[in-house]
Structure 1
Amino acid sequence: MKTLIHQLYIILLVCITGTAFAQPGHRPDNGTISGTLLNEKGAPMDFATVTLLRAKDSSVVKGTLTTEAGIYTFDKVTPGDYLVKATTVGYEKAVSAPIAVNGEKVAVPALKMQLKSRSLQTVTITGTKPLIERKIDRTVMNVENSVLAAGNTALEILARAPGVSLDKDDNISLKGKEGVTVMINDKLTYLSAAQLATLLRSTDGNTIKSIEIITNPSAKYDAAGNSGIINIKLKKNTQSGTNGSLTQAIAKSDYWRQSTNLNLNHKEGNLNVFGTFSRGDIKRGHELAINRIITNSAGDKTYFNQLSDMPSVTHYNNYRLGADLDLTPKHTIGFVVNGYTNSGRDDNNTSTIIGQTFGGIDSSLRTTSVVNQSYKNIALNLNDRYKIDTLGQEISVDLDYSKFRNNNNANYHTDYFLPDGSQQHLPQILRNQTPSNITIYTGKVDYTKPLTKTIKLEAGAKFSSVKTDNDLQAQIFSNGGYINDTSRTNRFIYEEKINAGYLNLNKQFKKTSIQIGLRAEQTRSNGNLIGSTPVKRSYLNFFPSVFINQTINDKNELNFSYSRRIDRPSYDNLNPFIYYLDPYTYSQGNAFLNPQYTQNFELNYTYNHSLNVSLGYSLTTDVITELILTQGNRSFETHANLNTQKSYNINVNTPFTIAKWWTANINVNAFYLGFTTDSTSIVNFNDGQFAAQGKLTQTFTFGTYKFEVLGDYRSPLTYGIYKIKARYSIDAGVSHSFAAKKLNVKLACDDIFFLRRNDLSSHVAGNNFDIKQRNDTRVVRLTLTYNFGNKAIKSRQRRTGADDESNRVKGAN
C-alpha cells in the first residue's frame, strides 16, 4: 500500500510540474536560480532536498538535491515570484525570502538549516565499499577497510592492486609495463624508483584510504608515465569536533618489526586542522645468489658463483600537518606540511668463487659492506580554491616547495683467497660518502568553466624547477690511511625546468560524452659532471588525449581513450656514479639518456557497473631499459635507450558474490611485451613473450569477524634482457571489532607458504647469468587500531601541485 501511495505521489508531482510549465502566456524558460545550503555550523549540506515553490500559492515547480558542496541549481525557470524550501532528516525546514525571476540568473542568499530540537532515535546506516571498484576513468582499490592492509606498508599493499607488480628492485609495473607515475593525494612524489620504494616501505598502510589506477590520464595530468598513474589517497579525518585514531602493529618474519601511527583531526566552524605521525622499525632479510659466465674476446670463459646475505633495517618518522579555512562558502585556502626523518643500515656479506667451471676454484673473495643512510625531507604546499559562481566555474592555485637531504656512507672490505683458502694478497678497503641535496619548486593554476549545460572547458598551467646535487667522495685505504680515489670521486649537478599548459574540452550528449585535450611541455635540462662537458637539452613536446564514453543502456558501457606520454630519465639513472656490490659487480648511471615517448590506446567495456574488460596497445620509442654489460671480467648494471617496445594487453576485473557472507574479486591481466633494437643500439636483440597475471581476493564475513584470502600468480615473462620466472603467493587475514567498533584487532600472514621469489636470468650481450633471490616475505602481523572522537561532517581532500617531479629522486625515505 505504501509503495502504491508513493508511486501516486510521484505521478501527481510530475503532473503538477508539467502543468506549471504548460500554462500559456509565459515567457521562454530562460531564468536560473541557484544558491548554497549550510548547516547550523556554516558547513555545506550535501544531498539535501531542495524544492522550488511558487510564491503565490506554494505550489511545487521543481525539485533537486544539493551537491557535496551544498550547491543547488534550477534551470529554465519561467518569469515570476518563487520561494526555495530545503528539507533533510534531522533538521528544521528552511525557506527563502520571495525571489523575483525575469529571465536572468538569480543567486539566492545562503540558506542555513537548524537541528530539530526534539530527540530522535539514533539510526546507524553502514555500507561497505567493494575492495576493487571500477569508475569511468580509473580503477579504485578501497584499502581503508581491508584486513590485509592493516600492519602492511604502502609498498606491500600496492603490490596487491589490480595489474600492479614489483620487480627484483621493487620497481613498479602496471599491466606488465614499467614507467608508472606515482602520486600521493594527487601530488607527485618527485622521487626516483629506489627512493620511491624506500618511501612506500616506510609509509604505514593504516594511513591509506584508497589506491587509484589511471591507465590513460587526461591532459590535466602531467605527461610523465608511459603506463599510467597510480594515485595513493591518504586518510583524512573529516568529522566535526576532535577525533582521530591510534594504531599499533607488531610483525615477525626473520626479524621483528613494529610501527605506530597517530591520526588527529579538529574541525570547528570554517576551520579544519589535521595531522598524522607515523614511526616504525623494520628489519628485513634478503638472500641473493648469482651464477654468471663471462666470455672474453678470445672466447675464454670465467665462471662466477656469488652468494650474498643482505639484511637491512629502516627507522622511519613520517609526519603530515595541514589546515583548510573556508573564508566564505565559495573561497577556501589551506596549507599542508609533510616530511620525514628516516635512517637505515645495510649489512652485506658477499662470497664469490671464481673458476673455469662452476665446480672449480681458481680463487675466491669475500666482500663485507656496511652502508648507513639518512633521509630528510620537508615539503610545503599552499593552496587557494575559489568558486567564481554556482554554475561550476572555479579557479585553484597550488604553490609547492620540497627539500630533500640524503646522506649515504658506505664502507667496503674485500679479502682475496687462493684455492686452498690462504690469503692471495692484501685486502682492498674502500669507503664512500655521498651527500645529496634536491630542491624542487612548483606552481600550478587550474581553471574550470562550464560554457553551456553540456560543454565544459578546463585549462591550466604549471611550472617546475628541480635541482639535484650529488657529491661522491671516495677513498681507498693505503699505507695505513685513507687517500682520495680520483677514479671514482666526482660531483654531479642536474638542473631541470619544465613549463606546461593544457586545455580540455568536455561535451556531454544524451548517452555519449567526449573529451579532447592537449598538453604542451617545454623541458630544459643541464647535467653537469664536474670536470666534464655538461649535457644540455631543450625540447618542446605536445601531448594530445581523446576520451569517448558511450552508454549503450543501463547495463552496458563502452569507453575509448588515447594519450601520448613521456618518461624522462630518473635523476639516479642520469647520475654517472659507480656503486659497488663487490670488485666484479657494480652499477653506473648514464648521463646521455634520452626521454622515451609512448602512444597509448585503450578500449574498455563495462557490464552492469561491475564486470570490466579492457583492451590496450602501446608503442614506446627510445625505451629506457636496464642492461647488464661486461667490461673485462666485470659486470655492471646501467640503463640505455633501446629502439622500441610494443605492448598488447587484455585486462578483466569483476567482483562477484558467492553467498551473503562470501564475496570475491578476480583480476586477470594477459599481455605481450616485445623489445626491438637496431644496429646503433648498445646491444642488439629482439625478444618478447606473452605473459599473464592473476589476483583473486575472497572476503568472508561472520558477524563482526571478517576473513580475507588473497591469491596472486604471475607467469614467466620477458622484460628487456631479463627472463623472469613465475611467481605466486597466498596471503590471509582476519579482523574483529570491539567496544562499539572503536577498537579493531587484525591478524594477518603474508606469503603463508613462503613461495614469493624474484628469480631471473639473461643471455644477452656476452652475459650468461642466473639470479635467485628471496626476501623474508612470510610475515605474521598483529595490528590494533583504536578510534576516538566525533564522527559527522565531511571536509575536502587537498590536491596539490608538486605532482610529477618527485617521482624521479632516488633513495628518499
Structure 2
Amino acid sequence: MKTYLRFVFPFLFYILPLSLRAQQNQKVTGTIRDNKQTLPAASVLLYTAKDSVLVTTAMTDGEGKFSFAVGPGLYYILATSVGYDKVKTAAFQLNGSAVHELPAVLLKENTNKLNEVSIVASKPVLERKGDKLIFNIEATPSAAGLTGLEVLRKAPGVTIDHNENISLAGKNNVLVTIDGKQTYLSGAEVVNLLKSMSSSEIESIEIVNNPGARYEANATGGIINIKTKKSRAEGFNGSLTIGAGYNQRIQSNNSVNLNYRKQFFNVFGSYDYNRWPFQENLTIDRVTPGMNSKQLYFSQRNKDTSVFASNNFKIGTDFFLTKNHTVGVLFKGNINGFDQKGFSRIAIGDSFAQPDSILQTPSKNSSDRNNFSYNVNYKGVLDTAGQEITVDLDYSTFDGTNNANFVNRFFLPDGSFFKNGQIYRNFAPSDINIKAIKGDYVLPLNKMFKLEAGIKVASVKSDNNFVYENDINGEWIRDNNRSNRFKYDEQVSAAYTIVNVTAGKMSIQAGLRAERTSSTGNSVTTNQLTERTYTDFFPSMTLSRNFDADHVASLSYSRKINRPNYQNLNPFIYYLDQYTYNEGNPNLKPEYSTNFEATYLLKQKYSVAIGYSHTSDVIAQILLQNEAKKSMYQTVLNLASNDIVSLTFNFPVKVSKWWGMTNNLVGYHKQIQAPDLNGTDLNSKQFSASLYTQNNFMLSKQFSADASVYTSTAQIDGAFKVKSMLSADAGLRYNFPNQNGNLKLGVGDIFHSQRGRVFSTLPGNVYNLVQWGTSTNVRLTFTYRFGKTTVKSERNRQTGLDAEQKRLGGK
C-alpha cells in the first residue's frame, strides 16, 4: 500500500490545485438542424478565422445543441453530419464578456448521398490520423470470413512468423489491445484470442509505431489496436453474420450484435461462435554439433490436423446519470477449445541420404481456455472547457488446461520395428487472476495549454502446474525430474502526466510515465525463487507543425519497456517429441527501447515516416541444439542489442473513377548483436522490405471487388532468418438494394505461397525449417442489419487491464 500511495498522493496534490483555477474562457452555444428537426450526434469544429487552425471540437446532444468554452478571438464553425453537406459559418468575434449564442446552423441533405453500404465501401483502406495508421476492414471484401489473426496478417507493416509471433516494421514485443483495452494475455494467448475472433467483429486495425506516455510502457515494438464494431442508433438495432468457408474442411463463423439505447441508458451485447479446422505442416533438417562426438543428421517431417472452436460474448450497460456523468458495467468472456492430432517422422543417421533409424511419434493434444473480465467504469465531464475524469475498476480471470500424449517408436530404414522410445503424457493446468484500478484526468487550462494525468495499479497472480508422466510397463508413473509447479506474482504501480501546448500552427506534447514493478517467480518443485523490484521512468515528446491544410509534419520520441511474459519465466521443459522440446528461462530480464519517428503527411492522404529504435537486453526466441541430448530446443534469452532504422510510405492512387489503389511500403535495416550466445558471437545485419497493395473496384452500386498482394523480402529475428514471402487475396461484395445487408465472397492465399522458411544465422547451429498450412481457402459471408441505423454507439472503454493480460503465458 505504501508503494501505491507514493503515486496517489503526488497525483492528488498536483491535480486538485489546478482544478481550482479561474476560467477566462467565454461560453459559445448553438444548435445544428435541418429544415425539419434538430440533429443529434452532429460534429461541430471550431477554427480560428485568421489561419484556420482547429481549436476544439464538439458533438451535438439529443436536442441538437452544442457548446464550447474558448478565449477571445475571431472564429468560425464547420458543421457536419452523416448524409448532409458540410456547412461553414460566417466568422464571429468573441470578447470574453458573456455567453455567445450563435444562430442555428442549417444543414442540407446530400442529394447525391450513397446508400449506407456504399458509404462503408468508399471508406479508404488506409488512413493516417495523428500517430495512428488505420487499416479499415470494411473496405476489404476479401477479409470476410477470416479469423482476427488472418486479418492482422494483411495489415501493413505487420509480420507473423512461423511461431505466430507478431512484429511491427521489424520490431518484436508488440502490444495488442482490443478497443484500446489491454488483454493481459501472453503472446500465445493473444494469438488464440485473435484466432477465436471473426473479421465480421472487426471495424479497423490501428497501428501506433511510437506511443506516448498515456499508453502502457510495456510496448517496445509499438501498439496494434483491434477496434471492434459498434452500434450507432437510438432505439433497438443489431446485425447478424453467417459465414462458411472451405480449406480442405468446412469452416464456420457466425455472430450476432444487439444494441438498445434510450435517453438514460444503453444496453449492448454480442455473441459469436467460430469453428476453424486447419492443417499445419513442418519440415526441419538439422545437423547436430560434433565437437565431442560425431555429427548426426535429423530430417523431420510433421503433420498436425487441428480444430479450433471458440465462443465469445460481451454484455454491458451505460447509465447516463446526467448529461455529463456516466457509469458503465461491462462483462466479457472467451471460451475456446483446441484439439490436435499430430504425427512426426524423424530420419536419423550419418547423412540425410542414408538414415540409420526412423523415429515416429503420433501425438494428441487438447486444451480448453476460459477468459472472463469484469469492468466498472465512470466518466465525468466537469465543465464545458473539456475538464474530465475517468475511472476503471477491473477484474479478470484466466484458466486453462493442456493435455498431451506422445508415443515414440523407432523403426529401421526398411520400415520394420526396432524398439520403443519414450512414451509419456503431460497435464498443464493454469490459473491466473488480475486486478487493476486506473484513473485518468484531463484539464484544459486555456486554448494553448492542456494537462493530462493518470494513475494505475495492477496485480497479477499466476499458478501453473506441469505434470509429466512416463509409461513404464503399462503403468503411468510421475516423472518428478520433468514435472514442475510455477507460481508468479507481480505488482505494477504507474503514474503519468502530459503537457499539451498549442501555439498557432505548432503543437507540443511532453509526457513522463513512472512505473514501479515488484515480481516473485517461484518454481515450487525445484525450490527456485526469483525476486525483482525496479522503478523506471519513461519520457515521451511529440512536436507537430501544421504548415497548412495540406502539409503536416511531426517528430516524436519515447522510451518503453517490455517485461517477460509469465510462461517464459517458468523453467519447465515441454517435450514435443524425444528430440524436440521447449524450455523456459527464470533469469529473463526486461528489455528497454528508445524510439524516434519523424512523419510528414501530405493532403491527409500521402505519408512518409522515418524511424529509429534501439533496444537493449532484447527478449528473443532462440532455436538451439543440445549436443549431449542430440536434441533441438526452443528457449527465450536476452540478446545484447537490436537497432532498426525504418522508412515507411503510404500512398493511395486513384487509377480511375471505379478503380482505387492503396499502397504501403516499409523498408528497414536491422542489426542484432549478442557477444556470447551459446558460446558464439552473433552480429547479424539485414535490409528488409515489405509491400502491401490493395486494388478496390466499384463495379456498380451493388457490386464491388478487391484484390490484394503482400510480399516481403528476407528478414532476421533473433538468431534466425526468415526468407521472402508472398500472399495474394481477392474478394467480391454484393450490397443488397434495401441497404440492410451484403454478401461477400473471399479467396485467401490464391497461389498457396504463404509459408515460413527459416534458417539459422548462428555459426555452428545448422538447421533449415519450413512451415505452411491450409491458408488457401474460399469463404462466403452473409451480413444482415436490422433496427434503426442512426443509433449512438456504446462507449469505447479503455479499462485498467490493458497491459497485463498480454503476458499471461506463451511462446
Would you call these one fold, judging by a TM-score over 0.5? yes
**Cα deviation 1:258-297 (Å, max 9, x = unaligned):** 1111111111112111111010111001111110000232
Alignment match of 1:597 (pick from 592, 601, 606): 592
Alpha-carbon distance in 2 for matches of 1:509, 1:710: 42
8 Å CA contact 2:69–2:384 kept in 1: the answer is no
Q: Which of the numbers 264, 267, 284 marks the counterpart of 2:261?
A: 267
SS of equivalent residue, structure 1 residue 678: strand
Residue 686 of structure 2 corresponds to 689
Q: Give 1:176's aligned residue.
A: 170
Q: Structure 1 residues 711, 76: CA separation in 2 closer, same or farther (over 3 Å shift)? A: closer
Q: How many Å apart are 1:781 and its aligned residue?
A: 0.4
Q: Kindly provide the amino acid, as one letter, of the partner of residue 291 in structure 2.
A: S
5+ residue gaps, structure 1, are 1-28, 51-62, 79-85, 92-100
2:807 is aligned to: 808
Q: Deviations over 1:460-516 (max 9, x none)?
A: 000111111100111111122101111111100011110000000000011110000
Partner of 1:729: 727
Contact 1:629 1:765 in 2 (8 A): no
Mapped partners of 1:175, 1:424: distance in 2: 49
Alignment correspondent of 1:19: none
- Could you tell me which of 194, 197, 201 is aligned with 1:200? 194
Which residue matches 1:96? none
Q: 1:102 to 1:196 in 2, by over 3 A?
A: closer
Match of 2:427 in 1: 433
SS of 2:652's equivalent in the other structure is: strand
Match of 2:11 in 1: none
Q: Does the residue aligned with 2:43 lie in a helix, a strand or coil?
A: coil
Q: How many pairs does the alignment contain?
A: 754
Q: Deviations over 1:37-85 (max 9, x none)?
A: 69999996433699xxxxxxxxxxxx9985356541264579xxxxxxx
CA distance in 1, matches of 2:486, 2:38: 54
1:642 alignment partner in structure 2: 639
CA radius of gyration, larger in: 1
The counterpart of 1:391, out of the listed 379, 385, 388, is 385
State the partner residue of 2:617.
622
Offset, 1:621: 0.3
Aligned equivalents of 1:77 and 1:770: distance in 2? Answer: 69
Preserved contact between residue 656 and residue 663 of structure 1 (Cα < 8 Å): yes
Counterparts of 2:25 and 2:429, CA distance in 1: 65
Cα distance change, pair 728–48 in 1 and its aligned pair in 2 (3 A): closer
Query: Where does 1:5-404 land on structure 2 (aligned, <5 Å)?
Result: 32-34=26-28, 45-47=41-43, 66-67=58-59, 71-73=66-68, 75=70, 127=119, 128-298=122-292, 300-404=294-398
Mapping of residues 394-793 of structure 1, within 5 Å: 394-530=388-524, 531-631=526-626, 632=628, 633-679=630-676, 683-703=680-700, 704-764=702-762, 766-793=764-791
Instruction: Provide closer, same or farther for how the CA distance between residues 425 and 511 of structure 1 changes in structure 2, counting only shifts above 3 A.
Output: same
Q: What are the superposed Cα offsets for residues 376-433 of structure 1, whole Å, 9 maximum, x if unpaired?
A: 1110111100001000100000111110010001111111123443333234221111
Q: Distance in 1 between matches of 2:409 and 2:709?
A: 44
Residue deviations 1:659-716, cap 9 Å, x none? 1100111011001111112248764211110010001011000111111000110001
Deviation at 1:88, TM superposition (A): 9.9
Structure 1 CA distance for aligned equivalents of residues 639 and 248 of structure 2: 40
How far, CA to CA, are the matches of 2:231 and 2:750 in structure 1?
Answer: 33
* TM-score (normalised: structure 1): 0.88
Q: Secondary structure at the match of 2:189?
A: helix
| Amino acid of the structure 1 residue aligned with 2:336 | N
Aligned partner of 1:785: which letter?
A: T
Contact 2:218–2:560 (CA under 8 A) maintained in structure 1: yes
Alignment partners' CA distance in 2, 1:120 and 1:546: 41
One-letter amino acid of the counterpart of residue 47, structure 1: S
Whether the aligned pair in 1 keeps the contact of 2:236 and 2:261 (CA below 8 Å) is yes
1:42–1:270 CA contact under 8 A, matched in 2: no
Question: In structure 2, what is the Cα distance between the partners aligned to 1:64 and 1:764?
Answer: 55
Alpha-carbon spacing, 1:43–1:222, altered in 2? closer, same or farther (3 Å): farther
CA distance in 2, matches of 1:494, 1:667: 41
Question: C-alpha distance in 2, partners of 1:391/1:198?
Answer: 43
2:235–2:791 CA contact under 8 A, matched in 1? no
**Cα deviations by residue, 1:175-229 (Å, 9 ceiling, x for unpaired):** 0111100000110011111111111011011011111101111100110111210
Change (3 A) 1:389 1:296: same
Tell me which amino acid in the other structure corresponds to 1:665: T
SS at match of 1:805: coil
Query: Residue deviations 1:527-576, cap 9 Å, x none?
Result: 10003221000000000001000122332221100000101111121111
Q: Is the 8 A contact 2:42 2:81 kept in 1?
A: no
Distance in 1 of aligned mates of 2:503 and 2:263: 40
Distance 1:274 1:584, change over 3 A: same
- The verdict on how the C-alpha distance between 1:103 and 1:237 changes in structure 2, with shifts beyond 3 A counting, is closer
Rate the CA distance shift 1:304–1:603 in 2: closer, same or farther, 3 A. Answer: same
Deviations along 1:700-736, one digit per CA (max 9) or x if unpaired, are 0011111100011000122221121110011000000
Distance in 2 of aligned mates of 1:664 and 1:214 = 23
CA distance 1:655–1:132, shift in 2 (3 Å):
same
Contact in 1 for aligned 2:177/2:223 (Cα 8 Å): yes
Cα contact 1:688–1:719 (8 A) shared by 2: no
SS in 2 for 1:573: coil
Looking at structure 2, the residues matched to 398 and 556 of structure 1 have their Cα atoms a distance apart, in angstroms, of 38
Which AA in structure 1 matches 2:683?
N
Cα deviation, residue 123, structure 1: 7.2
Change (3 A) 1:807 1:89: closer
Whether contact under 8 Å (1:369, 1:412) holds in the other structure is yes
User: 1:789 corresponds to which letter in structure 2?
Assistant: G
SS in 1 for 2:190: helix
CA distance in 2 between counterparts of 1:247 and 1:443 reads 35
Question: Do the aligned partners of 1:578 and 1:589 also contact (CA within 8 Å) in 2?
Answer: yes
Query: Does the aligned pair in 2 maintain the 1:65–1:72 contact within 8 Å?
Result: no
What amino acid maps onto 2:716 in structure 1? T
**Letter in structure 1 aligned against 2:353:** G
Describe the SS at the equivalent of 1:310. Answer: strand
Give RMSD over aligned pairs: 3.0
With the length of structure 2 as denominator, give the TM-score of the two structures: 0.88
Question: Between the two proteins, what is the percent identity of the paired residues?
Answer: 37
